[in-house]
Structure 1
Amino acid sequence: MSAHDQLLVVIDPVARRFDGESVRIVKDVLCAGSAAKICLPDGPEEFSRALARRGSRRLVVVGDDRALLRAVGFLHRARELADDALSLVPVGAAPSMELARALGVPTGAVAAARAVLDGAAHPLDLLVDDSDGVVLGELRIPATPTAAGPGAAAAGGPAGVAGSVWDTCRSLVRTLVRPAPPVPPLARTHRLRVEADGVLLSDLDEPVEDVRVRTAEGAAEVTVRRPSAEEPLRTLAKVVTVSGPSFRYRADAVITGPVRQRTWTLRPKAWSLTLPVVAPPG
């Protein structure tokens, strides 16, 4: 049996608890078609140890998007990500497998297991940040709600309390006399400095609603949404730096922060994922 058929199947504990029947089916399919060694780690530390001891076996992760990210992150930090293609069999709740679907991995247990055995390695791009974190699909920095207007905060002290009481009474009288006007929605903006390959896309003096960065065939596609513009600003880059007041960001399925600055660098074809072979048309 070739080295390609020697698998290390690491089954994430969340997958085992969520859908034990799908896990059993996956084990049966993989063991029937290969020399598969099954590993059942109880937590992240055992998960990492299993990856470190895989030897020459092809790695197969059974789990959701977080399990895939954990595996890619570990192999990246060990500088072993480019050594061999990684395989994934998604098992978990539907929302936790959005990244797997976006990457082209079948979400059915049998179809995904068959793709591990019969599929081919597809090189994929990777975003790596300056703390050695990885992004496989999309990075997003959404704004959080902020109070609308300077009168949103109540004045402090006895005078402020008394004023609040009178304001409440007047508001009640006005409500009884005529319908209250609709409450304006809270503004969702923040101030960020966004640079793409050294070119300034947005600075701290302009509100930003949303910043997104995703891998896009050899480049990073940067999208900046601003309330002052009807259409978002889009560009392609290799290096993206975001800085400003403390902000949180979502990298695929993981929320990180707060941070004041982060730089992401595109690594073209930095890793490979086993995907189904698509027959040519005709």
Structure 2
Amino acid sequence: MATFATSDQLLVIIDPVAQRTDGESVRISKDVLSAGAAMKVCLPEGPEEFARALERRGSRRPVVVGDDRALVRAVYLLHRQRELAGCALSVVPVGGVVALAEALGVPTGAVAAARAVLDGVERRMDLLVDDSDGVVLGALRIPPVLVREAPAAESAMSGPGRPWLRTTYQSLVRTLGPRPSRPGPPASGPRSAPARLRVEVDGVTVVDLDQPLEAVSVTPGSAGLAEVEIHPVPLGAETAPPLRTTGQTVTVTGPDFRYRADAAVAGPVRRRTWRMVEGAWGLTVPSSA
């Protein structure tokens, strides 16, 4: 782990969401940082200015004051600029969702986090990188697919290859005009359906499309390997144990699926490959962590 001197010049990028949601914590973190190091403060108004500030940081060490989304955005931008490996990133968690920063070892209090920026050490972190150049710092999860059921009458009147029946039915209803209302079945909302996915780890198929799944999760493990956990749908009353394995690459294929990467939802996609990169980025954490 690398240590930092308090004489380092800092580029403090304050996420606008943090400024709006907790201006007091932002002020405290600025006071602590300015007391221990020379710094330049940047107040970007949007993602474009956020990206330009990182790109033009020069020799300054970047410090992000913001929530988990701001942290992920900074890592993503540095990765896209191909400068992630040589840049030690610091974060002062401020905002509504900071669970990822806390899980990575960063204090959630403004004072403690700012002091860690000044006196902490750089810890190298593994990173999941996908085939569209996206990044995952913490956890990747594929939840069950949400489907919405059509009303019974509409479902009965329409079918494969017969969309004209639905139009005819709707026109007939409009022609007849309003009728006395009768209680009907409650409208059904979205419900979850098992996912049909092929999951390959290091080129080996772990589950195929014929196996319905409740969920898939991928998290950084150790020695540059990803930990993959797959939850099959239970058969009957028996609970199916999860399938667990490790590997460097994970490929998921199937009908359009969405996935949660850290704090954001992405997709739909039909195929995505994630690759684990060992020690891909550096994060400042307290020296005692």
Normalised by the length of structure 2, the TM-score is 0.82
CA contact (8 A) 1:125 1:266 kept: yes
Q: Distance in 2 between matches of 1:155 and 1:267?
A: 51
In the aligned structure 2, how far is the partner of 1:152 from the partner of 1:101? 50
The root-mean-square deviation of aligned C-alpha atoms, in Å, is 2.6
Aligned to 1:197: 202
Taking a change above 3 Å as real, the CA distance of residues 197 and 152 of structure 1, as seen in their structure-2 partners, is: farther
3-state secondary structure, aligned to 1:246: strand
Unaligned runs of 5+ residues in structure 2 are 159-164, 170-181
1:122-133 map, 5 Å: 122-133=123-134
1:1-282 equivalence runs, <5 A: 5-93=8-96, 96-146=97-147, 154-156=155-157, 188-217=193-222, 218-228=224-234, 230-278=240-288
Q: Deviations over 1:230-259 (max 9, x none)?
A: 210010010000011000111001111110
The amino acid that maps onto 1:231 is P
CA contact (8 A) 1:127 1:136 kept: yes
Once the two structures are TM-superposed, the CA of residue 27 in structure 1 deviates from its matched residue by 0.5
TM-score, normalising length from structure 1? Answer: 0.84
**Using a 3 Å threshold, how does the CA distance of structure 1 residues 277 and 73 change in structure 2: closer, same or farther?**
same
Distance, in Å, in 2 between the alignment partners of 1:69 and 1:87 is 12
Distance in 2 (alpha carbons) for counterparts of 1:147 and 1:9: 45
Q: Write the distance in 1 (CA, Å) between the matches of 2:5 and 2:58.
A: 14
Contact 1:126–1:135 at 8 Å: present in 2 too?
yes
Q: What CA deviation, in whole Å up to 9, does each residue of 1:143-179 have, x standing for no partner?
A: 124579xx99841179xx9xxxxxxx9x99xxxxxxx
- The 1-side partners of 2:268 and 2:220 are apart by 23
* CA offsets 1:47-94 (integer angstroms, 9 cap, x no match): 00000010011110000001011100000011000112100000001x
Which secondary structure does the structure 1 equivalent of 2:98 belong to? Answer: helix
Paired residues, number: 256
The one-letter code of the counterpart of 1:212 is: S
Matched position secondary structure for 1:200: strand
Residue 193 of structure 2 aligns with an amino acid whose one-letter code is R
CA distance in 2, matches of 1:264, 1:152: 43
SS, match of residue 249 in structure 1: strand
Contact persistence 1:4–1:57 (CA under 8 A): no
Kept after mapping to 2: 8 A contact 1:3/1:56: no
**Shift in CA distance, 253/136, structure 1 to aligned 2, threshold 3 Å:** same
Once residues 153 and 109 of structure 2 are traced to their aligned partners in structure 1, the CA distance between those partners, rounded to angstroms, is: 50
| Structure-1 separation of matches of 2:144 and 2:154 | 20
Cα distance in 2 for residues equivalent to 1:195 and 1:214: 15
Counterpart contact for 1:10–1:41, Cα < 8 Å? yes
Gaps of 5+ in 1: 162-168, 173-182
